[in-house]
């Protein structure tokens, strides 16, 4: 399977714990995006990378959230001191280049904070 | 962010065409109109995009109004596998900005 891969698919954590999600984009895709989706809503943009550079962060991305893409390949999204409001689906997407119109999404990581 | 307006839900019969409308009255001259869909428990999937002219691909057709303030996604023959949430999106800067989308239900 050469699509966007996300791991884990599901994560249950206790409030206050830290969690980290991984995204492997399609090979050689320069752009990588993170989105968050709550029930009944469309995905909300969190941040994106051009290669290893993080170029934009949404104001939704509080200080507890950090994302990296150290070698311009896979990316991680970490949430520190999780809160119940962080419960959501976290989606990763990649695209070939800045001007390419198509983004390919992974299946997401569903986070439940109890 | 550029905004789109879609009906909350629509229903269609299997094997019949479906027309999914979208209003985007604040669209700028350089905004492309994108459509994605999201099947249950899946990430969004690209459907089609266009700027001014009508567009066709193997999945759907996109009809864009002459003033570009609205567009319609056309599924020519709906199947049960087309049941999904359909998002009409204007790309804002470097990112796709999703609304709540239209839930499409397909009846057999």
Tens of pLDDT, residue by residue over B49-68, are: 999 989 999 999 999 999 99
Mean pLDDT across chain A? 94
Interface test with B, best of A59, A101, A106 (most B CBs within 10 A): A101
* Among candidate residues A6, A38, A20, A34, the one with its CA nearest the CA of residue A79: A20
Q: Where are the alpha helices (DSSP H) in A25-103?
A: none
What is the model's pLDDT at position B66? 94
Question: With an 8 Å Cβ cutoff, are B93 and A55 in contact?
Answer: no
Residue in B32, B43, B99 closest to A107 by CB: B43
pLDDT of the residue at B30: 84
**Least confident among A93-97, A98-102, B82-86, B97-101:** A98-102
Averaged pLDDT, A86-104: 91
User: Distance (Å) from the C-alpha of residue A100 to the closest C-alpha of chain B?
Assistant: 10
Would you call A48 and B95 a contact, using CB atoms and an 8 Å cutoff?
yes
- Sequence-ordered list of residues with C-beta below 8 angstroms from that of A51, at least 6 positions apart, any chain: A30, A69, A72
Q: What pLDDT is stored for residue A1 in this prediction?
A: 54
Helix, strand, coil: what percent of chain A each, to 5? 5, 50, 50
Identify the H or E element spanning B71.
strand B70-75
d(CA B79, CA A79): 39
Q: Is the pLDDT of residue B94 over 90?
A: no
Nearest by CB: A103 against B42, B46, B101: B46
């Amino acid at each position: 399977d050469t699509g966007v891969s996300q791991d884990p698919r599901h994560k249950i954590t206790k409030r206050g714990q830290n969690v980290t999600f991984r995204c492997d984009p399609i090979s050689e895709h320069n752009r990588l995006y993170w989105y968050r989706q709550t029930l009944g809503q469309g995905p909300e943009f969190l941040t994106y990378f051009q290669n290893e550079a993080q170029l934009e962060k949404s104001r939704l991305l509080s200080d507890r959230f950090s994302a990296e893409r150290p070698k311009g390949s896979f990316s991680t999204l970490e949430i520190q001191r999780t809160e119940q409001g962080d419960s959501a689906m976290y989606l990763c997407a990649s695209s070939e280049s800045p001007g390419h119109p198509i983004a390919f999404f992974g299946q997401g990581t569903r986070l439940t904070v109890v | 962010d550029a905004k789109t307006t879609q009906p909350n839900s629509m229903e269609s019969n299997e094997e019949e065409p479906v027309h999914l409308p979208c209003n985007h009255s604040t669209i700028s001259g350089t905004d492309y109109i994108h459509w994605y869909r999201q099947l249950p428990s899946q990430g969004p999937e690209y459907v089609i995009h266009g700027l001014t002219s009508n567009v066709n691909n193997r999945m759907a057709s996109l009809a864009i109004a002459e003033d570009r303030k609205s567009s319609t996604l056309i599924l020519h023959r709906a199947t049960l596998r087309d049941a999904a949430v359909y998002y009409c999106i204007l790309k804002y800067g470097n990112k796709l900005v999703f609304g709540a989308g239209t839930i499409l239900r397909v009846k057999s």
